[in-house]
Amino acid sequence: MEFRCLALFFSLIVMLMGAQAALPPEVYWERMLPNTPIPKGIREFSKLGFKDIQEQKEISGSLEQLLVWRWPSSKYELQDGVKEIPSQDKTPYGPKSKENVVIREVVPVANHHDDDHSKSTIFFFEEELKRGAKLDMHFRKMKYLAPFLSREITEHIPFSSEKINEILEILTVKPESWNAKNVEKSLEICEEPAMNGEEKHCATSVESMVDFVTSKLGKNVHVTSTEVEIESKSQEFIVKDGVKILAEEETIACHLMNYPYVVFYCHKISNTTAHFVPLEGEDGTRVKAVAVCHKDTSEWNPDSLAMQVLKVKPGTSPVCHFFPDGALLWYAK
């Protein structure tokens, strides 16, 4: 074991030395996407280095954005091991109701023990995106805990469920910790086959994400995300003037995974509409939100959380949700 640890340590030193001489990820972005400004979030992640992996106390991500529509709600597991499955008393509306859906927020990794975070509107219908509509929301401000490693480094770190033990050892993650469970779940999701009509890619570096996006949308693209001024309490937000459509048909969403370094689950799905939605909370908090409405849900799991809380069947109604701070939306100019 001691010899193995020394070998791993030596290999990491070699990787880091090579990465110092490689093209910085920001420069690669600017070369590939000269007309697309680098989002603030990417710059913040890039400030961190490999050493920050070992200093983390928790992994942050937006994995719930994937789980809530792709897999059955029975697969949800909160950080403290309590499963949260919607029940009739948590969806107090009739099958034909078009009211906002308010249920307990499902957050796999963030601290969810604060009662102030206990309610949010996870899913809603597209007609709710109009001036004056009210939504119970809790927008978290992104915590930049994980580093965005360069491709020269991540190419030498295994990214496969078959090598989970080696991954945990390299990244100094305790095997029985919640971080280890999050790593295992993220790898499982990345290895799941894509749904019909979905093109997916788990990007372990800026370069990998840029390559995937340009291969699907070209180099003339926009990238945007929800902007949260300050993290506030869970509260009622009102939709203000200025709602507009950002893109229709083809978009790429990149969701932050629960991983020791930054990994984005990027997927291109057709038949979607992306909206810019200005919101204002009861306490004056302003959020520039990105909402995506999926027009074709025919391939969604009928037991998924989205189908259950909206009380609709796959393929019968568009389903909308807001992007959390940290997730990226790409679309062609």
Interval 221-237: pLDDT, tens: 999 999 988 887 889 99
CA–CA separation, 267 and 327 (whole Å): 12
Q: Amino acid identity, residue 277?
A: V
CA–CA separation, 282 and 134 (whole Å): 10
Asked if the model's pLDDT at residue 7 lies above 80, the reply is: no
Instruction: Pick the range with the lowest mean pLDDT from 51-65, 95-109, 314-328.
Output: 95-109
CA–CA separation, 308 and 104 (whole Å): 13
**Would you say residue 225 lies in a domain?**
yes
pLDDT at 4: 44
CA–CA separation, 40 and 233 (whole Å): 23
pLDDT at 311: 87
Q: With contact defined as beta carbons under 8 Å apart, do 77 and 106 qualify?
A: no
Whole-number average pLDDT of the chain = 76
Strand 227-228 relative to strand 221-224, pairing: unpaired
Asked if the model's pLDDT at residue 249 lies above 90, the reply is: no
Model confidence pLDDT, tens digit, residues 35-90: 999 988 787 776 655 555 544 544 444 555 555 555 544 444 433 333 333 322 33
Helix axes 206-217, 25-32, angle to 10 degrees: 10
Asked if the model's pLDDT at residue 253 lies above 80, the reply is: yes
pLDDT at 51: 53
**Would you say residue 81 lies in a domain?**
yes
* CA-angle at 61, arms to 196 and 22, nearest 5°: 90
Domain that holds residue 236: 25-154+191-332
**Would you say residue 48 lies in a domain?**
yes
Q: With contact defined as beta carbons under 8 Å apart, do 235 and 283 qualify?
A: yes
pLDDT at 23: 66
CA–CA separation, 111 and 323 (whole Å): 19
Give strand pairing partners of 331.
222
**Would you say residue 219 lies in a domain?**
yes
Tokens of 131: 């001036």
**Would you say residue 293 lies in a domain?**
yes
The length of the chain, given as a count of residues: 333
Looking at residue 124, the DSSP 8-state letter turns out to be B
CA–CA separation, 15 and 92 (whole Å): 55
Asked if the model's pLDDT at residue 115 lies above 70, the reply is: no
**Would you say residue 6 lies in a domain?**
no
pLDDT at 61: 47
Burial 140-161 (b: 16+ CB within 10 A, else e): bebebbbbbbbbbbbeebebee
pLDDT at 9: 44
The upper half-sphere exposure of residue 250, i.e. CA atoms within 13 Å in the direction of its Cβ, equals 9
pTM of the model: 0.77
**Would you say residue 198 lies in a domain?**
yes
Rg of the chain, C-alpha, whole Å: 20
pLDDT at 100: 35
Mean pLDDT of 11-30: 63
More confident residue, 280 or 103: 280
Single out the residue of 127, 117, 158, 171 nearest to residue 291, CA to CA: 127
Q: How many domains does the chain have?
A: 1
pLDDT at 69: 52
Single out the residue of 305, 245, 317 nearest to residue 69, CA to CA: 305
CB atoms within 10 A of CB 291: 24
Tokens of 311: 């009380």
Beta-strand ranges (E) seen in 97-150 are 102-103, 120-121, 134-137
**Would you say residue 244 lies in a domain?**
yes
Q: With contact defined as beta carbons under 8 Å apart, do 181 and 2 qualify?
A: no
Asked if the model's pLDDT at residue 176 lies above 50, the reply is: yes
Phi, psi (deg, nearest 5) at residue 136: -85, 115
Asked if the model's pLDDT at residue 104 lies above 70, the reply is: no
Tokens 């029975």: give the residue.
74
